[in-house]
């Protein structure tokens, strides 16, 4: 007959086992670093002004899946941007940076920065990169191949006096940033297959901002910098792909609800409903061939040449823009079609130059579906909330305004977060195409990347366990020690009481 283990030992085992479970799951998932102050609503004119500044910032002429956390929301009345967190240097230091597909360079504020904000209305800590405090940091010279590529794409400039690779992004309203390039380690979570993750690092070139002006100096939505996801040589995507540590592709799925956040990975999200259209070749941005616009299934009478890509014309995907913008020649036909479609159930009003509507029922019951039709037969379906914004209320009526704004005197169409949210977007740079599908971005996705074995790996991004992070190693040691101690007690107790 087997002996009975004393109740005290069982109680201790149960207690320690529960503690082990807690420590094993610390933290269980990547959490959104979201803490946004609710603020009063702002006018569309102010949002247009904000985006106008953003448009000036567009830069002119182990394989595995890398996962980044996402915070922020498209809602311009709350935040109006999405951002992620990166770790740079040795020892690693955290920086919050805006996710921007309209530029190439990752840059962060540096020590002794003139005009860089020190606090943020997003309730996130702001940091400054210090090259002297990182044991792996080094300056990039003009003779560096990465700098040469940056000069060709207008992402870098060189001074013959000090042979230092630098940058100066100046904008029409006087805002901008300037600084120099640094080479240092970027840390990231690499998914090797299934739910297995590992903390990885790779050397990259990024900007160290020593001066900021204009909107970049304001604290209300301040972050540490901008993470450019462009396709030029200086982009992190291109740098990691050239080193063979990440695929030459990235994907995002930005949540449009109040919680915000979403998914951002280096790799291709897999979804059967994704449709693809080719990128316009030899362009500095993610230009697509928009061919027509349909409202309620009816194609609008817009000259197709309006959407042709040229120096100051074309259609651009830009996650750094809050709203969305139509070329002037396409805007009026679009607004007219929407107004005609809701004439029986909505009262059109003009508020500070914006076309708005008074409605008493659900916006989805009143407004039509819109389709943006691209080359190759790919259509982007827009729900009413993808092209409208609720401005305020008047009595029992809600005021909804057209969120697709007109770019006066310009031929650009810019698809910003208003349109990009609640959709999977895949940027297949190797295949020179972009794909999308409407999707609930609060749920997980499968992602694939071509591995060294030639196989594809599928992961559940957005729900990743973070136990592989360096800061969790002490907890792993504690758990292992506790488990060994528990096994010792159990074996000893069983032996003594046989």
Active site residues: 100, 318
* Residue 458: strand, helix, or coil: coil
Nearest Cα residue to 60 out of 120, 103, 5:
103
In which order are the strands placed within the sheet that holds 445-448? 268-270, 445-448, 459-461
Q: What share of the chain is helix, strand, coil (3-state, %, to 5)?
A: 20, 40, 40
* CB atoms near residue 308 (< 10 Å): 15
Is residue 205 within 8 A of residue 242, CB to CB? The reply is: no
Q: Is 272 exposed, middle or buried (0-12, 13-18, 19+ CB in 10 A)?
A: exposed
Q: What angle do CA 415, 60, 371 make, to 5 degrees?
A: 15
The token duo for 116 is 């860089």
Residue 55 and residue 64: Cα distance in Å, rounded? 33
Helix 7-24, helix 473-496: angle, nearest 10: 160
Sequence-distant (≥ 6) Cβ neighbours of residue 483 within 8 angstroms: 20
Residue 402 and residue 350: Cα distance in Å, rounded? 10
Cis peptide bond N-terminal to 123, omega within 30? no
Residue 460 and residue 411: Cα distance in Å, rounded? 40
CA 210 vs CA 34, 168, 378: distances in Å: 27, 10, 43
Nearest Cα residue to 357 out of 368, 343, 373:
343
Residue 110 and residue 115: Cα distance in Å, rounded? 11
* Residue 73: strand, helix, or coil: strand
User: In the chain, what is the greatest distance between 2 CA atoms, to the nearest angstrom?
Assistant: 92
Is residue 228 within 8 A of residue 239, CB to CB? The reply is: no
């Amino acid at each position: 007959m087997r002996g009975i283990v004393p109740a005290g030992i069982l109680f201790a085992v149960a207690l320690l086992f529960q503690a082990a479970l807690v420590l094993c799951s610390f933290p269980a998932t990547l959490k959104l670093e979201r803490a946004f102050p609710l603020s009063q609503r702002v006018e569309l004119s102010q949002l247009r002004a904000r985006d106008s500044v953003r448009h000036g910032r567009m830069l002119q002429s182990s394989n595995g899946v890398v996962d980044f956390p996402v915070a922020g929301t498209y809602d311009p009345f709350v935040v109006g941007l999405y951002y992620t967190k990166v770790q740079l240097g040795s020892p690693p230091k955290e920086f919050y940076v805006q996710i921007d597909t309209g530029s190439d360079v990752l840059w962060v504020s540096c020590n002794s920065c003139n005009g860089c904000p020190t606090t943020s209305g997003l309730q996130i800590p702001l940091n400054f990169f210090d090259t002297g405090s990182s044991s792996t940091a080094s300056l990039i010279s003009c003779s560096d191949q990465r700098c040469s590529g940056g000069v060709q794409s207008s992402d870098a400039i060189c001074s013959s006096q000090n042979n230092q690779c630098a940058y100066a992004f100046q904008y029409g309203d006087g805002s901008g940033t300037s600084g120099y390039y640094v080479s240092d380690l970027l840390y990231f979570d690499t998914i090797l297959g299934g739910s297995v993750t590992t903390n990885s690092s790779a050397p990259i070139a990024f900007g160290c901002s020593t001066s900021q002006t204009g909107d970049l100096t304001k604290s209300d939505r301040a972050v540490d910098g901008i993470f450019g996801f462009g396709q030029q040589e200086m982009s992190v995507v291109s740098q990691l792909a050239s080193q063979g540590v990440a695929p030459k592709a990235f994907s995002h799925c930005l949540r449009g609800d109040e919680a915000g956040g979403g998914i951002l990975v280096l790799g291709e999200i897999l979804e059967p409903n994704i449709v693809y259209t080719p990128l316009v070749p030899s362009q500095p941005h993610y230009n697509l061939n928009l061919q027509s616009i349909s409202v309620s299934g009816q194609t609008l009478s817009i000259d197709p040449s309006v959407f042709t890509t040229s120096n100051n014309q074309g259609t651009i995907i830009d996650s750094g823009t809050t709203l969305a913008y139509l070329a002037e020649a396409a805007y009026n036909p679009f607004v007219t079609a929407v107004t005609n479609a809701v004439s029986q159930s909505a009262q059109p009003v003009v508020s500070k130059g914006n076309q708005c509507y008074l409605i008493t029922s659900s916006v989805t019951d009143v407004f039509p579906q819109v389709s943006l039709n691209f080359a190759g037969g790919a259509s982007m379906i827009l729900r009413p909330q993808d092209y409208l914004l609720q401005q305020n209320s008047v009595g029992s009526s809600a005021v909804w305004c057209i969120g697709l704004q007109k770019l006066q005197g310009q031929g650009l169409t810019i698809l910003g977060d208003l349109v990009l949210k609640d959709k999977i977007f895949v940027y297949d740079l190797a295949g020179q195409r972009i794909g999308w599908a409407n999707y609930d971005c609060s749920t997980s996705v499968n992602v694939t990347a071509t591995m060294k074995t030639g196989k594809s790996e599928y992961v559940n991004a957005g729900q990743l366990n973070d136990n592989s992070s360096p800061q969790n190693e002490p907890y792993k040691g504690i758990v292992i020690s506790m488990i060994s101690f528990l096994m010792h007690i159990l074996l000893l107790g069983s032996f003594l009481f046989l």
